[in-house]
Structure 1
């Protein structure tokens, strides 16, 4: 089998592969994959079907995947959002349905009915996709009723096609103090490249998942040109510039999303990740 394809972005094994890879890889069988939808608040994606292994990334409620294989309680999938490939428990998948809205706040609750005094039945992260089938109001608070059951605060949702402005840093700032989680991509825990990807997604830009992939997009600039919205990359790390002197990033030092003086951060990070490898600027074309 070829070793030139990135296993994170291409579904191939010796016994089975995505039919789109015919001619590029060797496999005993090729399949197109079947559509499915994430049915839990956060689904952790792993490189192997083993819950003891570390996670590569996370998929959010309502996001869709293609399923290439189901075995021993796991599904081998590829995310439609960013093409990431991996394994997750099969019971985290449901049937595909068209999403109408997306959660636009860092975190929100799903209530059993349109009543905030009821114990919530779930919590959803920013970026989660829901299907609204009705509306209700209780004591002046407006709710959306969901196809999957329960109700969410209407003000915490936006139509699926809407974007939250054009500044991803404004989105990333909402996550300050969110716990750092290796492989995390949600309001419950997030890593450096997950913060970049989720923030960019909410303002309408689709970018890759991992920092080494993200370092290839946008245009290169110099350190002296840094301003709000620019990105700084290290080997294995990425952060937003909140302004020309302040780095905003999810990091394992504070174990949170935090703000840090840029020069101090470069000095601190240097012992582990050496000096920055790239400075890059958006916007990207949508």
Structure 2
């Protein structure tokens, strides 16, 4: 992975770490599934009028949207509704890295290098420490299962990107999410009720507008655009583990912006995560230099 690609990967980590603050902001006056519907409507419009459809069969675009967007976030929202703590859900969601690598190895035959396994093990320990510090009570079993399904859905979406190959990443994000607003809207009406959904659409706040702008244009178009480009260029084992470091950014942002406390387990876990990140990004270059 080149230095430019590494910088792009780190940018994605930062953007997705900030993502959780803007999700929090949007959920203050918007139900989860309606927020998902509005998010992907903003991804589509007006971009779909200016970005040409990628030369990809419709089946791959539909699979991309169903798994990496609707499947991932519908399961995640369902887990939170089932009582799963949001911070812990964000941590468990990063298990998609392990799912992605296993699926890529089984279906595509990609090889996993020793330093990548070492980096993932170190990052896994760091995530475990953060999870212990984040929530030390009983976990809702249904919530955990739903988050794992969300992670699996994201992983399958990553493999779909591998099958799609090298295309315009922005076009893939925009056209791949063409069908997403509809199932999100159906879920919103089914769960919240028609009247509540209409009332939310009639009243808009600056918080919702700012949240949607970030979630759609920054986290989705820029973040998933860069992520898709990296996934198409490099092996899953090189790219997927980078998402493991998103919770560290999210915790730091929550500490400074939302004034959520950082305990010793959080700090220790973030330090271990940074060691894993250095192993993943720097060890190959150090070995070549040596």
| TM-score by shorter chain over 0.5 | no
- Give the strand-richer structure, 1 or 2: 1
TM-score by length of 2: 0.25
Task: Point out which structure has higher relative CO (alpha carbons under 8 A, 6+ apart).
Answer: 2
TM-score by length of 1: 0.25
Larger C-alpha radius of gyration, 1 or 2? 1
